[in-house]
């Protein structure tokens, strides 16, 4: 079972609409949870970073939430644009002595149609 699971696997919405992507994780304890955007053929780019004590973090039209009790996070995208078409990856950084591994979800493939 993956330690970080995302849903949906893929999503198609019209330009201008809002959407919410989900992330459930079992990694515990963890130091932070990140959301990355990965355009096709590019490396992941960080959108938000939240520690376990934070509930929400915004970056422009992107808002991430974190519920450490239920081990769930979401990424809400407002007023979507064509350039938002990408994979969105939830990443958890576990607290492991002397290590800095990131545990990646499989990503949600988002397509914005005009």
* DSSP conformational letter for 90: E
- Separation of alpha carbons 12 and 34, rounded Å: 23
| 60 lies in the site for other proteins, by CB under 8 A | no
- The residue (of 60 and 114) whose beta carbon lies closer to other proteins is 60
Query: Rounded to 5, what percent of the chain is helix, strand, coil?
Result: 5, 60, 40
81 token code pair: 């644009």
Q: Which stretch binds other proteins (CB under 8 A): 20-28, 60-68, 71-79, 101-109?
A: 101-109
Nearest to 13 by CA among 75, 79, 62: 79
Contact pick of 24, 71, 76, 102 for other proteins (by CB under 8 A): 102
| 27 lies in the site for other proteins, by CB under 8 A | no
Residue 42 backbone class (left: φ over 0; alpha: ψ -120 to 50; beta: rest) = beta
Q: Which stretch binds other proteins (CB under 8 A): 41-49, 52-60, 67-75, 76-84?
A: 41-49
Contact pick of 44, 47, 80, 84 for other proteins (by CB under 8 A): 44
Q: 82 by DSSP, 3-state: which? A: helix
| 19 lies in the site for other proteins, by CB under 8 A | no
Binding residues (CB under 8 A) for other proteins: these are 4, 31-32, 41-46, 49, 89, 91, 93, 98-107, 109
């Amino acid at each position: 079972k993956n330690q970080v699971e995302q849903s949906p696997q893929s999503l198609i919405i019209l330009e201008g609409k809002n959407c919410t992507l989900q992330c459930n994780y079992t990694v515990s304890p963890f130091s932070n949870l990140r959301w990355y955007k990965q355009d096709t053929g590019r490396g992941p780019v960080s959108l938000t970073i939240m520690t376990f004590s934070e509930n929400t973090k915004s970056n422009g039209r992107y808002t991430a939430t974190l519920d450490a009790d239920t081990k769930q996070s979401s990424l809400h995208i407002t007023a979507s644009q064509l350039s938002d078409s990408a994979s969105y990856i939830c990443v958890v950084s576990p607290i492991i002595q002397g290590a800095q591994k990131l545990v990646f979800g499989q990503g949600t493939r988002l397509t914005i149609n005009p």
